[in-house]
Amino acid sequence: MDLGDRISVERGGTTYEGAVMPSRREGYVVIKLDNGYNIGFDASKSRISLLQKRQESRKIKSDMALPRREGLPQVSILSTGGTIASKVDYRTGAVTSQFSAGEIISAIPELEEIANYSARVVYQILSENMRAEYWIELANKVAREIESGAEGVIITHGTDTMMYTAAALSFMLKTPVPVVLVGSQRSSDRPSSDASMNAVCAASVAISDIAEVTVVMHGSTSDDFCTIHRGTRVRKMHTSRRDAFQSINQPPLGKVDYLSRKVETFQPYRRRGEAALELQARMEERCALVKYTPGSSPDILNYYIDKGYKGLVLEGTGLGHVASDWIEGIKRATEEGIPVVIASQCLRGRICDRVYDTGRDMLQAGAIEGADMLPEVALVKMMWLLANQPESFAALIGQPLAGEIAFSTPITV
Ligand code: DGL
């Protein structure tokens, strides 16, 4: 009997069926039941029969031929990995990235009622392994899909760094069609998986009128709706809840009702066809987001300056502060042509360095207030501006380019 084999176990008059999982206890056998839960048995007190040997995992095809239905819009799915493309690996018991975009589609039959799809695997990674060069490649691939006639693009992505990729694509691409990032917090072989509902809602947004980069994820703890977040305003705010994603400093763009698949919008947005496709896919990687903590050494700033970094975002306290002994470092950076942008650890609200002395000194030293931008969005914007329009950095860092800044914040967010 090998890991992954399907077996039946008879114990006390009841028969259980499932796949063999790794067991840490000698003489015990653990199986994963079809409902996703694991159960262990003392092998000496159970009757075990082999039902089926483990199926070797299918080879992943990068381009799957999918059935076409007349009259449905054409949507491209690019998969990059993460939980939505994962299942439990029965050899290790860990969740690993295993599905291609095509396999995700075949596993969710409801998707076929919404659009025709072409599916490509771009990466098969957990999103903590994403990096700027992958954002660039992804942006190029999205642009290619749009040029080839895609009426919407879905990117399946790990949730951990989805907000960075969403922000990067928001700055790199001006899109005439929806570009939707989607993921899941629980893999599809778990009973509470959010993979299928999120994918169905993402497809509904991909054929909608919202021609922006968005993140579509569970909106509540139930299976009732998904929220549509603007790519530059979204953040993962919980490690494990299915409704982990929230729009910060701006209400969500809208929602998708899971049952009716109706898309409802709450905010102005760029409409389908309103903009021509534009791609500016360069990123300055030598930028850092530095979190200030009480008592931390200003040498941290000198480290980045000495290492040749080109820009720094400081995640300051409250309205945007660091200790007075950091001011000299800010001054040194800005004098050496390294912009220093201030964001807040509060996440919600806006930077105002004009209220307290420290803030005023920071501004005097050349720091730039990051308005109501999320710290990671300020970082990605800095990386993009320094690579694409360095001469306009000072003029544009505080201006909204992709919905990342607003000059007033509704009280409800
Ligand atoms: N580490 C995670 C990632 O790929 C897996 C979890 C997820 O996709 O939600 O971001």
What does the pLDDT read at residue 60? 39
Closest to 116 in 3D by CA, of 199, 202, 207, 212? 207
**159 among known catalytic residues:** yes
Burial class from Cβ neighbours inside 10 Å (0-12, 13-18, 19+) for residue 247 reads buried
How many whole angstroms separate alpha carbon 84 and alpha carbon 90? 17
Separation of CA 85 and ligand 1 centre (Å): 10
What does the pLDDT read at residue 83? 81
User: Reduced to 3 states, what is the DSSP secondary structure of residue 303?
Assistant: helix
How many whole angstroms separate alpha carbon 350 and alpha carbon 20? 53
Q: Report residue 288's pLDDT band, with 50, 70 and 90 as the boundaries.
A: very high
* Atom number in ligand 1 closest to CA 183: 8
Say how many C-beta atoms besides its own lie within 10 A of residue 42's C-beta.
11
* Highest CATH level, class, for 287-396: alpha beta
What does the pLDDT read at residue 64? 55
Cβ of residue 82 lying under 6 Å from some atom of ligand 1: yes
**310 among known catalytic residues:** no
Q: In this predicted model, what pLDDT tens digit does every residue of 25-63 receive, in sequence order?
A: 888 898 878 766 788 999 999 999 999 887 544 333 445
What does the pLDDT read at residue 56? 47
Catalytic one among 80, 83, 156, 161?
Answer: 83
**236 among known catalytic residues:** yes
Burial class from Cβ neighbours inside 10 Å (0-12, 13-18, 19+) for residue 278 reads exposed
What does the pLDDT read at residue 219? 97
What does the pLDDT read at residue 24? 73
| 127, 129, 163, 185, best to mutate for ligand 1 pocket (most atoms within 8 Å of CB) | 127
Q: In this predicted model, what pLDDT tens digit does every residue of 105-160 receive, in sequence order?
A: 777 888 989 999 998 989 989 999 999 999 999 999 999 999 999 999 999 999 99
Q: In this predicted model, what pLDDT tens digit does every residue of 298-346 receive, in sequence order?
A: 999 999 999 999 999 999 999 999 999 999 999 999 999 999 999 999 9
What does the pLDDT read at residue 19? 82
Cβ of residue 300 lying under 6 Å from some atom of ligand 1: no
Do 74-279 and 6-52 fall under one CATH topology? no
Separation of CA 8 and ligand 1 centre (Å): 32
Average pLDDT over residues 76-101: 71
Q: What are phi and psi of 139, to 5 degrees?
A: -60, -40
How many whole angstroms separate alpha carbon 207 and alpha carbon 185? 24
Say how many C-beta atoms besides its own lie within 10 A of residue 134's C-beta.
17
Q: What are the C-alpha distances in Å from 4 to residues 32, 54, 91, 129, 407?
A: 9, 5, 7, 28, 56
Cβ of residue 128 lying under 6 Å from some atom of ligand 1: yes
- pLDDT of 69 > 60? The answer is yes
- pLDDT of 374 > 70? The answer is yes
- Non-local CB neighbours of 136 within 8 Å, separated by 6+ positions: 172, 281, 282, 283
Separation of CA 156 and ligand 1 centre (Å): 11
Residue identifier of the C-alpha nearest atom 8 of ligand 1: 158
Cβ of residue 80 lying under 6 Å from some atom of ligand 1: no
Q: What are phi and psi of 44, to 5 degrees?
A: -70, -15
pTM over 0.95: no
* Highest CATH level, class, for 6-52: mainly beta
CA–chain centroid gap for 112, Å, is: 24
Residue identifier of the C-alpha nearest atom 1 of ligand 1: 126
Helix (H) or strand (E) holding 387: helix 375-388
What is the CB-side half-sphere exposure of residue 385 using CA atoms within 13 A?
24
CA–chain centroid gap for 219, Å, is: 15
Cβ of residue 285 lying under 6 Å from some atom of ligand 1: no
Range 74-279 has CATH code 3.40.50.1170: yes
Q: In this predicted model, what pLDDT tens digit does every residue of 166-222 receive, in sequence order?
A: 999 999 999 999 999 999 988 777 777 888 899 999 999 999 999 999 999 999 999
Q: Where are the domains of the chain?
A: 6-52, 74-279, 287-396
How many whole angstroms separate alpha carbon 89 and alpha carbon 97? 9
Question: Are the beta carbons of 230 and 216 closer than 8 angstroms?
Answer: no
